[in-house]
Each structure stands twice: as C-alpha cells, then as structure tokens.
C-alpha cells in the first residue's frame, strides 16, 4: 500500500471568500443563509465552498460567538444503567431540536470523579449542566451558577445551592408500595437500598418508615439493608435476608439494579417473599415483577427544557419538578403474605 499523502490542509472561510471574489463577511453571510445576500453572490459562494470542500469550523464559531459551546453536559453514574440511558435519550432529543448536543460522562458514582468531570465540563464551557450527583455539597457550583450557567439536578436534589431540580416522588412511590403490601397482610417487609449517602435512598427509606410506622410497625428498621449499589451486593443482601431466622415475607428494592440482584437471589426459592421493585425494567412484565414506575425519559426532557429555557433568558426562581410514580401490580407482590 502506497503511503498516501494526507492533509491537504482544510479550506477556510477566507479561501472560500477569495475564490468567490467576495469579502470574508459576505462569504460568511452566504454560508449561514443570513439575509441581505443577493442570489448571485450566494450561489457563487456556495459553489466555491463546495469546490474547496469547505466545512465550517465549529470550534472557531463556538469560540467566537458567545463564550459557550453548543454542548450540554450530562453527568451521571453509568451510561450502561438503563435508568441513566433513558434520561440521556430524553434529554438528547430535546437538545438536538435546539441545536445543542449532549455530552454524557459517567462518574461511577464516585465523588472525586464527579468533581473532576464537572470541572472539565465547565472548562469546556458547556452551555448547561445536567447532573445526577453523588456529592453532598454543591456550594462549589455557586460561582458557576452566578456566571449564568444553567444547571439542573436530576433525580437527586442539590445541597447548599439553589438550582432547578427534577426528581421522582420517592416517598410517595414507596408509600404506595408499602401500603399495598400492608394491605395484603404483610408485616415483615424488608427494604434493600442503595448507597446510604444518596438522597434518593434516604427519601425512599423515609417513605418506607412513615408508611410502616403509621401502620403501627415500629421495628421496621430490622429489615432495612443499605449500600447495595450493584447487582452482586444486592443479591447477597437479599440472600442474607432470606437466610435469617425470621425472613421477611416481602421485599422492596429501591432501584432497578437491586431488583435484578433480588431476582437472582430469589431464583429457586421455595417460598419466595413478595417483591416490589423501584424502577420499571425491561422484562419486568415477563418475570411478573411488580414495580413502582416513573418516566426517566421525561426527566431528561424536562431537564433539557429547563436548560434551554434558561439559555433563552427565562429568569424565574429555580423550579423543583416532582415526577409522579405509579405502582404496577404484577404477580410478585401478590404472594407470600401470612394470614392476617
């Protein structure tokens, strides 16, 4: 193979202008279909651009006009978690229609990494920040906020800073689930939760506690397990619960990863406890698993819209949007209850 010569350097607007015999600015206008360009000039410029294989330099455009790139950052735990992927999808669609692009970055739920990513995104001058944060103090973003960078906190509210937020009705969803199980006669209900430091975890546990207490059950903590952040850990936690002297008759898992871990642990169990999982997941219907559903794509859409509105000058106090949940009763929640 002959080593081909690459790099006949890229044509610039200046060359297009020269070739078509107009000024830089006129060429710019023509290529951007701005008004006040005669038809003849327009087509001459376009032809020259085509001939030279000209491509606008987005880097130069972003740099020059306004001090912001046309990207919006999405910082979350892990793209391959369907919850985040669906948020990304919702956000991406809205942003694209607004001429923006989504840049996703995974923090692996690690605070250091999250900080580094946010920092990086700020330096890249993203137009906005969509964050599912695992930090517990967001004061460091205050300066950026005052500089006018729109930021929306998704799924978990920010701490020590006022900013737009889109969350799920965690307590409400949990309440419905617990009420349903209580109604079926369950008294020994376990909760298997995510990292203790996450606000979603705390809210879900709190919703659980409230519902349990109001049913007169005060030793609810006995069956609460936390820090099951991945599938294997969740599986182990559930296995452990099942092996205890007085196993729970029902289990609530607080996210899709944990639910899957629970399903693994329950596989082949003689008398599986009832199960309700937070987050809908693909195949939940086939596996007959009851879930607390909500709409992650919508979360992404709303987040994106908020960014877009703020960018367009919307100047209202920070909003907090709470997305509803719905209990989808399937087979898994209808079993294992002891006689009432």
Partner DNA sequence: TTGAAAGCGCTAACAG
Partner DNA sequence: CTGTTAGCGCTTTCAA
218 exposed, middle or buried (CB, 10 Å; 0-12, 13-18, 19+)? exposed
Helix axes 24-31, 13-20, angle to 10 degrees: 100
| Six token digits for residue 283 | 């195949």
Interaction of residue 10 with DNA, rule CB under 7 A: yes
Shortest distance (Å) from residue 52 CB to a second copy: 11
Among 18, 41, 231, 287, binds DNA (CB under 7 A): 41
Interaction of residue 40 with DNA, rule CB under 7 A: yes
- Cβ distance 324 to 115 under 8 Å? no
Among 3, 5, 7, 36, binds DNA (CB under 7 A): 36
Interaction of residue 162 with DNA, rule CB under 7 A: no
Q: CA-to-CA distance for 169 and 155, rounded, in angstroms?
A: 10
Q: Tokens 């692996």 identify what position? A: 108
CB atoms within 10 A of CB 33: 9
What residue 89 binds from DNA, a second copy, none (CB within 5 to 8 A, per partner kind)?
a second copy
Interaction of residue 124 with DNA, rule CB under 7 A: no
Shortest distance (Å) from residue 198 CB to a second copy: 21
Kindly indicate which of the ranges 52-60, 128-136, 155-163, 202-210 contains the residues binding DNA, using the contact rule CB under 7 A. Answer: 52-60
Q: Which parts of this chain interact with a second copy (CB under 8 A)?
A: 1, 3-4, 6-8, 10, 53, 55-60, 62-63, 67-71, 78-80, 82, 85-86, 88-89, 92, 96, 101-106, 120, 122-125, 143, 146-148, 260, 263-264, 267, 282-283, 286-287, 315, 317
Shortest distance (Å) from residue 69 CB to DNA: 13
Q: Beta strands 274-278 and 101-106: pairing type?
A: unpaired
Q: What are the two backbone dihedrals, phi and then psi, of residue 314, each rounded to the nearest 5 degrees?
A: -55, 130
What residue 24 binds from a second copy, DNA, none (CB within 5 to 8 A, per partner kind)?
DNA
- Give a three-class secondary structure readout of 103-124: EEEECCCCHHHHHHHHHHHHHC
Shortest distance (Å) from residue 146 CB to DNA: 17
- Count of residues that bind DNA according to CB under 7 A: 28
Kindly indicate which of the ranges 63-71, 160-168, 171-179, 310-318 contains the residues binding DNA, using the contact rule CB under 7 A. Answer: 63-71
Kindly indicate which of the ranges 23-31, 129-137, 206-214, 303-311 contains the residues binding DNA, using the contact rule CB under 7 A. Answer: 23-31
Shortest distance (Å) from residue 45 CB to DNA: 9
Among 43, 50, 51, 57, binds DNA (CB under 7 A): 57
Q: CA-to-CA distance for 54 and 61, rounded, in angstroms?
A: 14
264-285: buried (b, 16+ CB within 10 Å) or exposed (e) per residue?
bbbeeeeebbbbbbbbbbeebe
Among 43, 50, 63, 322, binds DNA (CB under 7 A): 63
Instruction: Tell me the CA distances in angstroms from 92 to 87, 142, 257, 297, 314, one per residue in order.
Output: 8, 26, 23, 10, 20
Interaction of residue 111 with DNA, rule CB under 7 A: no
| Six token digits for residue 100 | 């923006």
Interaction of residue 28 with DNA, rule CB under 7 A: yes
Q: CA-to-CA distance for 158 and 325, rounded, in angstroms?
A: 21
- What SS3 class is residue 310? helix
Shortest distance (Å) from residue 267 CB to a second copy: 6
Among 25, 50, 139, 222, binds DNA (CB under 7 A): 25
Q: If you count DSSP H runs as helices and E runs as strands, how many of each does the chain have, helices first?
A: 12, 12
Please report, as ranges, the residues that interact with DNA according to CB under 7 A: 10, 12-14, 21-26, 28-29, 31-32, 35-38, 40-41, 56-57, 60-61, 63-65, 67
């Amino acid at each position: 193979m002959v080593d081909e010569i690459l790099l006949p350097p890229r044509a610039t607007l200046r060359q297009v202008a020269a070739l078509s015999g107009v000024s830089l600015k006129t060429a710019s206008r023509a290529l951007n279909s701005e008004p006040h360009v005669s038809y003849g000039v327009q087509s001459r410029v376009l032809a020259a651009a085509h001939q030279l294989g000209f491509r606008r330099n987005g880097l130069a455009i972003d740099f020059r006009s306004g001090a912001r790139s046309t990207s919006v950052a999405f910082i979350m735990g892990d793209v391959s978690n369907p919850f985040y992927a669906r948020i990304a999808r919702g956000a991406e669609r809205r942003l694209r229609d607004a001429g923006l692009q989504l840049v996703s970055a995974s923090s692996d739920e690690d605070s250091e990494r999250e900080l580094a990513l946010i920092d990086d995104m700020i330096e890249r001058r993203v137009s906005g920040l969509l964050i599912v944060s695992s930090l517990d103090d967001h004061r460091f973003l205050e300066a950026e906020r005052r500089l006018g960078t729109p930021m929306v906190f998704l799924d978990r509210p920010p701490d020590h800073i006022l900013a737009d937020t889109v969350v799920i009705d965690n307590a409400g969803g949990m309440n419905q689930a617990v009420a349903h199980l209580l109604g079926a006669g369950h008294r020994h209900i376990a909760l298997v939760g995510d990292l203790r430091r996450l606000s979603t975890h705390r809210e879900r546990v709190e919703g659980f506690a409230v519902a349990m207490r109001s049913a007169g059950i005060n030793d609810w903590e006995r069956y609460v397990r936390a820090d099951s952040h991945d599938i294997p850990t969740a599986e182990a936690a559930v296995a452990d619960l099942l092996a205890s002297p007085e196993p729970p008759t029902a289990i609530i898992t607080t996210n899709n990863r944990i639910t899957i871990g629970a399903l693994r642990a329950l596989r082949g169990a003689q008398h599986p406890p009832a199960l309700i999982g937070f987050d809908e997941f693909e195949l939940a219907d086939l596996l007959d698993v009851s879930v607390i559903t909500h709409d992650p794509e919508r979360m992404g859409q709303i987040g994106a819209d908020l960014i877009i509105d703020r960018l367009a000058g919307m100047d209202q106090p920070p909003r907090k949007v709470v997305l509803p949940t719905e209990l989808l009763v399937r087979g898994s929640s209808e079993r294992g209850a002891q006689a009432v």
